[in-house]
Structure 1
Amino acid sequence: MPLVTLTSDIGEQDYLAGAVKGRLLRINPEFQIIDITHKLSPFNYPQTSYVCRNAIKNFPEFTYHIILVNLFESKPEQLLFAFYKDQYIICADNGLLSMIIEEKPEMVLGVPLEKSAIKNTLYCIDVAAKAITQLTNGEPVQNIGIPDPPYLEKHPLRPTLGEDWMEGQIIFIDAFENVIVNITQDQFERQRRGRRFKIVFRRDEIIERISGSYADVAHGEMLVLFNSAGYMEIAVNKGNAAGLFGLKGYSESNQSVPQAVQTRLFYQTVKVFFE
């Protein structure tokens, strides 16, 4: 019974999320389908890669992860079917694969899309479902797609580093408005080298200690901790950090906005100074 996860930016307001599951089950009634989320922000690759990377690694070996995010950035000619650390990842050829896994996968197939087909979301899910079924039935990979095809790669969003500082970008804001920064605990400790530090955001907000949990501070006080995925998180105990401090997640679309306007509207970065 193949375990299949779904992650998308299509939302849950209309029929499409349900229709995707229906199409999967029409092709293979044995699929066990699990939703990761359908509420990713459109065009936001850093957010998508953070969510997918940290969800995927917790699933049983040989789970199939279908990611329906920005399927039509360009005219699609293939879906990518990758194998990485005992997980299968199926996504568009739009640069997202390299951002999720941050290195070369162990295997990549290019599953071709018919030139004459109407390439909408449901057609793409049909192609993905058929490829999964073929693989689970033991068909050779050459019958499913083209091994090691050329595909688009994009660089993961990484913190910038200096001798006595590092700067991270806000990549996710959760339902409680806790703010996730693309600085992992390992990166922080390597850069820190045992030194004292100041975490600075919104120009004048400073935190000088890492908490173990929200309960380490009084209600209404801000804190920084490393979350269960190992990423830096700015929060307010029983409060809403993003709204209180005017923090906003990084998005490529925001980069077209002049910097002066961005500064007036929101803050997207967090700096750490070491001394």
Structure 2
Amino acid sequence: MLVTLLTDFGDFYPGVMKGVILSLVPDAKIVDITHSIEPQNVFQGAFLLYHSYKFFGSAIHVAVVDPGVGGKRRAIVVETKHNYFVAPDNGLVYPSAKEDGIVRIFEIDSKISEIVGELSTTFHGRDIFAPATALLLKKDFRYFREIDEIKTLDIFEHSVAGNRVCGKVAFVDRFGNVVTNIPASAVMGAKGFILRGVEFPMVKCYEDVDIGKPLALIGSFGTLELSLREGNASEFLKIRKGEIELEVLR
């Protein structure tokens, strides 16, 4: 079964996780989804995992965005109809697991770190999640205890009131496009939006406006995005995360 990795680790740490997995299962196939989640941004990690896991068929998805590492939060494995999700219990995998259909939930015993030889309070990706992944590949559940529930997270929470729509910035891509969590259904019929005094006309594609001009469209995530054609909307608006409130033009 394929293994995917999604973390906020940047470089170095993912390589160590791969080393642990490969030392225990040398023929494991590991794919990096991303290690560029904003540090500690669980919401962004959950959003991007939700929009990527389904393209791998059946896989073990290891997701580590873990501001509570070393604390009271549990380490979990979620078995779904087609996948396994390995992660901290902070809502990170809930949207994906719920969509795929949760079958069983397990808490990972911290004693699993004996396989690696140590248990740090800062790198459970290496000490807990990587060995748990290797054991899943071997169908070995000896360090897993079945539990009833996990922490939930709604990545599409938004509101519409009159000519206002509120949501969250889910992701800013390398082009500076501001990807929101506001679904297309919430803005059907809108002719555009105003944010911070700037009008973003609703269009179908980037070339519908001149270079350097603002625009809004429904992007590949199926949610509302704010952009500048061949520019950086995030820098222009000075926004990267958090809540967002737009005036809707009808």
- Whether 1:112 and 2:113 are equivalent positions in the alignment is no
Q: Which moved more, 1:228-237 or 1:127-136?
A: 127-136
Distance 1:101 1:237 in 2: 35
- Whether 1:226 and 2:218 are equivalent positions in the alignment is yes
For residues 92-241 of structure 1, the aligned pairs below 5 Å read: 92-101=88-97, 105-114=102-111, 118-120=119-121, 124-139=125-140, 141=141, 143-156=142-155, 158-189=157-188, 195-202=189-196, 204-209=197-202, 211-241=203-233
2:41 maps to 44
Distance 1:148 1:228 in 2: 35
Distance 2:165 2:83 in 1: 32
Kindly, what percent of the aligned residue pairs are identical? 23
Q: Which runs of 5+ in 2 are unaligned?
A: none
2:79 maps to 83
Structure 1 residue matching 2:102: 3-state secondary structure: coil
Alpha-carbon deviation of 1:31? 1.0
- State the AA in 2 paired with 1:174: D
Can you list the C-alpha shifts for 1:127-183, whole angstroms capped at 9, x where unaligned? Answer: 4344344444445x5x35122344433444511122554222212111111110111
CA separation of 1:27 and 1:93: change in aligned 2, threshold 3 A: same
Aligned-residue Cα RMSD (Å) equals 2.8
Give yes or no for contact 2:194–2:249 (8 Å, CA) kept in 1.
no
Give yes or no for contact 2:20–2:131 (8 Å, CA) kept in 1.
no
Alpha-carbon deviation of 1:53? 0.9
Distance 1:196 1:19 in 2: 48
- Whether 1:244 and 2:236 are equivalent positions in the alignment is yes
- State the AA in 1 paired with 2:194: V
Alpha-carbon deviation of 1:82? 0.9
Distance 1:30 1:243 in 2: 43
Instruction: Provide the TM-score with structure 2 as the length reference.
Output: 0.84
Structure 1 residue matching 2:170: 3-state secondary structure: strand
CA separation of 1:158 and 1:85: change in aligned 2, threshold 3 A: farther
CA separation of 1:102 and 1:198: change in aligned 2, threshold 3 A: farther
Give yes or no for contact 2:21–2:134 (8 Å, CA) kept in 1.
no
Alpha-carbon deviation of 1:215? 1.7
Q: Which moved more, 1:28-37 or 1:180-189?
A: 180-189
Say how many residue pairs are matched.
245
2:3 maps to 4
1:269 maps to 244
Q: Which moved more, 1:49-58 or 1:92-101?
A: 92-101
- State the AA in 2 paired with 1:97: V
CA separation of 1:179 and 1:153: change in aligned 2, threshold 3 A: same
Distance 1:99 1:164 in 2: 28
Give yes or no for contact 2:192–2:216 (8 Å, CA) kept in 1.
no
Structure 2 residue matching 1:235: 3-state secondary structure: strand
Distance 1:214 1:25 in 2: 43
Distance 2:84 2:168 in 1: 28
- State the AA in 1 paired with 2:89: D
Alpha-carbon deviation of 1:231? 1.6
Distance 2:165 2:98 in 1: 20
CA separation of 1:235 and 1:90: change in aligned 2, threshold 3 A: same
Alpha-carbon deviation of 1:84? 3.2
Distance 2:195 2:98 in 1: 27
